[in-house]
Amino acid sequence: MDEKNFDRRSFFRMAVTAAVIVPVALKSIGKAEAAPAASCPTTPPAGKPMAIVGQGMAKGLEYTDDGKSSTNAKHKPGQNCANCKYFNDKKGEGGYAPCTMMGMKWVTNCGWCKSYAAR
C-alpha cells in the first residue's frame, strides 16, 4: 500500500513539476526567437500613409520592409513588426498596420526598425 501511495505521489509531483516547467520553457524559447510573420504582404492598402524605406522617420529608425535584410546589430532572427508591441495590427489590414513609433505611418508585418520591442 505504501509503495502504491509513493507511486501516486511521485506521479503527481512529476505532473505538477511538468505543468510548471513546460510553459516557462516554451515561453523562454518564444522570447529567444519570436515567430516570423506568416507571409509578407506585397500590396499596401490604398489611401494609408505609408512609412517609406530611407525617408523621414523610417530613415532615422533604419526601417526596412524586410526585417531579415536588416544589417543593424540589434536585429535578431525572428524579430519583425508582426511581433513588435508598436505594430497596431488591430487597426491594420492586409498585413500592414500603423506603427506607434513611426507616427502612425503604416508598416508591413515583415518590417523591422531599431525601435523594435517584443510584445
| Minimum CB–partner distance for residue 93 and ligand SF4 (Å) | 15
What share of residues in the chain are helix, strand, coil (percent, to 5)? Answer: 40, 10, 50
Residue of 37, 50, 81, 110 interacting with ligand SF4 (CB under 6 A): 81
Residue 50 binds ligand SF4 (CB under 6 A): no
Residue 106 binds ligand SF4 (CB under 6 A): no
Residue of 50, 65, 92, 102 interacting with ligand SF4 (CB under 6 A): 102
| Minimum CB–partner distance for residue 23 and ligand SF4 (Å) | 26
Contact yes or no for 93/42 (Cβ under 8 A): no
List of residues contacting ligand SF4 (CB under 6 A): 63, 81, 84, 86-87, 99, 101-102, 107, 111-113, 115-116
